[in-house]
Structure 1
């Protein structure tokens, strides 16, 4: 089966984190996310899931030349950033999109679906 990345964007201007959310809102979001992850797990589709800290916490590492260069900033600047993700196994794109639709409904957010590349046979 193919693995798909289901990703949830966040607004870069807001940079929400669990620590900055209203406790009642956080509880509701965690319950919805938990229920979705439980369903993914029960189906055998879940490979991995996680939430990311905002881009302002990023370190960019560049050791492509002779010297190591570190920058306390994200590699790219964008109006939105990857805030959370799930890696799922699905028989096809339609099945992955169905999982994304459930995540979108549960969390009230847009979800992007992308397949991982596979080595050609």
Structure 2
């Protein structure tokens, strides 16, 4: 079995209202329940917006600590799920289901090292 990170990318800006999000959250709950029933779910989390980030970086003899995301962009990782499945094909089955729920949001699939 291999673990895969499914990263959900969403646009920066205003979060849609509850009326828009409610049906998506219901479908995500079913998707997560199905993952658990299949024994593929490892961990999931949503993230605060990128402006809540703090970046720590060693440069020469100085430790830099800056507010905000590491990179500026029009999209950010809004949440993620780690799954444990047989191979990339199996991970893509779950990712396709997730992308269908999230409509226009991108889902990146990446194997976990180690």
Do the two structures share a fold, i.e. TM-score over 0.5?
yes
Q: Unmatched 5+ residue regions in structure 1? A: none
Specify the alignment match of 2:106 in structure 1.
110
Q: Secondary structure at the match of 1:70?
A: strand
Q: Unmatched 5+ residue regions in structure 2? A: none
Per the TM alignment, residue 26 of structure 1 is displaced from its structure 2 partner at its CA by 2.3
Q: TM-score, normalising length from structure 1?
A: 0.83
Please tell me whether residue 9 in structure 1 is matched to residue 4 in structure 2: no
Q: For the aligned residues, what is the CA RMSD? A: 1.6
- 2: distance between equivalents of 1:59 and 1:111? 24
Greater strand proportion:
2
Please tell me whether residue 38 in structure 1 is matched to residue 33 in structure 2: yes
Q: Conserved in 1, the CA contact under 8 Å of 2:53 and 2:68?
A: yes
Per the TM alignment, residue 68 of structure 1 is displaced from its structure 2 partner at its CA by 3.8
